[in-house]
């Protein structure tokens, strides 16, 4: 099965050509070919690998983790191609094709592939409009505002396509969810499966979110987090640095293995909008770029201080940096196992890490702990609002209104959140779905193992098999419990 994993990894690098450049595996500055012909060719190749993996199931070949991961990833890539998200997924958010390119331009040695990339993406947008797969109008406007910052002929041409050929056909805020597109229900089911790794019913997810929100209201106990904001980007960087170093200092008490390299802290690129969320970029495989937590220091007066620590623990330590760095230290695993993008696992761990930080005593004030609950309510609210938009036909304002009423977030952050759900349907569900699985498995281990349970061992087992689907995570922990 290792040979199939290697085939799929090479195919993934060939398909998502920017990825190996960012990872330090290549320096050819190649970009993904988003043309219809290329998509159909990649779809055929992904299906061929999946068929071979299915055949080997019948032969009872060993290495189930690698096999099941191959099946999940080939299905996810196939679903993405078949959903034609490149046609209607126009926005200013980092996850969209053009914003991602513009953000990482500085990491490329050459920009020779940029004109063709933009022209191809523009062609796919036009094809989507012709087929009734249209983007959301105000997200197109955000994309236009983003590309307006770049003085380049190819970018200006792409901008003209957005203004003249795409924007006039954009969906309004009343019909912004996937359910308003042709085959929208099926598209959303695929998105849920891709991001959560599970076949989940959107209406059941909606009900789960409603229940979590009510539980959090009781945990808040009538307390409301403060609204203090920052006065400078330098303050934001300093607070992130302090929180991360504090977490690193006590991490050995909670983990058997800690990263060899500490997490770096840096401001995000000034070209990104103020709405861009903070994020973690793993170290390059060649070791030239360290794992870095990027803080959005634009408009610091809009950045709430009370959520800064929870965000640092999520993005850096013990969140993404610990999870990603631990995986990079694993010996003799296929690169597919250590580098596959599985949102429910990585974001589920990072959200689990926010609560773990509370157990570790890392929150410096009661206000910071209320910030953790604020972040919790945001992720619980995602289950309600994302499914409301894409499965129940909510308008943008309905989603905004629900979050304003039920989570302690200011309007500007809520609106940015809702736009994120519209820009990448289903992705935001993975956070809470993943965390619930980590919490469920830890509770199962604590109950079964009793006095012999050690949280360091639990963390070691969940982080020592590479990136896993939630189904595989369940199997790995269940097997560990049985051995104990």
Range 42-50 contact pairs with CB under 8 angstroms and sequence separation of 24 or more: 42/11, 42/15, 42/77, 42/81, 43/78, 43/81, 43/82, 45/11, 46/8, 46/11, 46/74, 46/77, 46/78, 46/81, 47/74, 47/78, 49/4, 49/7, 49/8, 49/11, 49/74, 50/74, 50/75, 50/78
- Say which residue, 102 or 271, is predicted with more confidence: 102
**Lowest model confidence (mean pLDDT) among 88-92, 201-205, 275-279:** 275-279
Q: Could you tell me if 434 and 196 are in contact, meaning their C-beta atoms sit under 8 angstroms apart? A: yes
**Lowest model confidence (mean pLDDT) among 39-43, 93-97, 206-210:** 93-97
Terminal C-alpha separation, the chain = 28
Structure-block tokens of residue 110: 């050459």
User: Has residue 329 got a pLDDT over 90?
Assistant: no
Structure-block tokens of residue 37: 């012909």
Angstrom distance (rounded) from CA 428 to CA 63: 31
**What pLDDT does residue 482 have?**
97
Q: Is 113 helix (H, G, I), strand (E, B) or coil?
A: coil
Angstrom distance (rounded) from CA 341 to CA 352: 18
Q: Is 245 helix (H, G, I), strand (E, B) or coil?
A: helix
**What pLDDT does residue 227 have?**
86
Residue 335 CA: distances (Å) to CA of 138, 469, 482:
39, 16, 28
The model's pLDDT over 181-206, given as tens digits with 9 standing for 90+, comes to 999 999 999 999 999 999 999 999 99
User: Has residue 60 got a pLDDT over 60?
Assistant: no
Helices (H), 221-290: 233-250
The model's pLDDT over 384-429, given as tens digits with 9 standing for 90+, comes to 999 999 999 999 999 999 999 999 988 988 999 999 999 999 999 9
**What pLDDT does residue 233 have?**
97
Q: Is the dihedral of CA 47, 53, 57, 59 positive or negative?
A: positive
**Residues 172, 178, 181, CA angle at the centre, nearest 5°?**
75
Mean pLDDT score across all residues of the chain: 95
Residue 251 CA: distances (Å) to CA of 22, 186, 360, 365, 450:
28, 43, 8, 19, 23
Q: Is 369 helix (H, G, I), strand (E, B) or coil?
A: helix
**What pLDDT does residue 58 have?**
65
Check whether the bond before 71 is cis (ω within 30° of 0).
Answer: no
Q: Could you tell me if 93 and 276 are in contact, meaning their C-beta atoms sit under 8 angstroms apart? A: yes
Q: Could you tell me if 456 and 255 are in contact, meaning their C-beta atoms sit under 8 angstroms apart? A: yes
Instruction: Give 88's Cβ-side CA count (13 Å radius).
Output: 29
């Amino acid at each position: 099965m290792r040979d199939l994993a290697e085939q799929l990894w090479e195919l993934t690098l060939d398909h998502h050509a920017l990825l190996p450049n960012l990872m330090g595996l290549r320096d050819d500055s190649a970009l993904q070919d988003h043309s219809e012909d290329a998509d159909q060719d990649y779809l055929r190749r992904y299906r061929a690998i999946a068929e071979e993996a299915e055949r080997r199931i019948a032969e009872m070949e060993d290495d189930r983790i690698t096999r099941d991961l191959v099946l999940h990833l080939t299905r996810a890539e196939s679903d993405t191609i078949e959903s034609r998200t490149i046609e209607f997924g126009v926005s200013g958010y980092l996850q969209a094709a053009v914003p991602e390119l513009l953000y990482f331009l500085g990491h490329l040695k050459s920009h020779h592939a940029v004109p063709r990339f933009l022209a191809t993406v523009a062609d796919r947008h036009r094809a989507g409009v012709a087929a009734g797969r249209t983007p959301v109008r105000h997200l197109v406007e955000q994309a236009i505002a983003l590309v307006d910052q770049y003085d380049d002929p190819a970018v200006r041409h792409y901008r003209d396509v957005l203004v003249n050929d795409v924007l006039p056909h954009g969906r309004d805020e009343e019909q912004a969810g996937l359910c308003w597109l042709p085959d929208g229900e099926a598209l959303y089911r695929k998105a849920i499966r891709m991001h959560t790794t599970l076949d989940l019913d959107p209406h059941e997810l909606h009900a789960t979110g409603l229940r979590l929100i009510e539980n959090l209201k009781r945990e808040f106990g009538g307390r409301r987090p403060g609204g203090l904001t920052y006065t400078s980007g330098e303050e934001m960087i300093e607070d992130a640095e302090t929180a991360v170093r504090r977490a690193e200092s006590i991490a050995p008490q909670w983990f058997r293995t800690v990263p060899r390299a500490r997490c770096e802290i840096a401001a995000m690129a000034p070209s990104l909008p103020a709405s861009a969320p903070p994020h973690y970029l793993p170290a390059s495989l060649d070791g030239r770029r360290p794992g870095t937590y990027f803080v959005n220091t634009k408009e610091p007066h809009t950045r709430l201080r009370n959520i800064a620590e929870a965000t640092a623990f999520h993005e850096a330590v013990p969140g993404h940096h610990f999870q990603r760095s631990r995986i990079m230290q694993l010996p003799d695993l296929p690169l597919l196992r250590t580098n596959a993008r599985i949102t429910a696992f990585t974001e589920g761990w990072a959200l689990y890490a926010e609560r773990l930080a509370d157990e570790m005593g890392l929150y410096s004030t009661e206000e910071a702990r209320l910030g953790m609950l604020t972040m919790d309510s945001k992720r619980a609210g995602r289950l309600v609002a994302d499914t409301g938009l894409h499965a129940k036909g909510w308008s943008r304002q309905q989603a905004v209104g629900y979050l304003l009423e039920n989570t302690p977030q200011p309007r500007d952050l809520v609106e940015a959140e809702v736009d994120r759900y519209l820009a990448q349907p289903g992705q935001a569900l993975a956070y809470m779905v993943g965390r619930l699985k980590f919490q469920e498995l830890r509770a199962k281990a604590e109950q079964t193992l009793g006095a012999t349970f050690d949280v360091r061992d639990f963390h070691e087992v969940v982080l020592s098999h590479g990136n896993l689907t939630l189904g595989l995570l369940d199997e790995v922990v269940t097997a560990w419990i049985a051995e104990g």
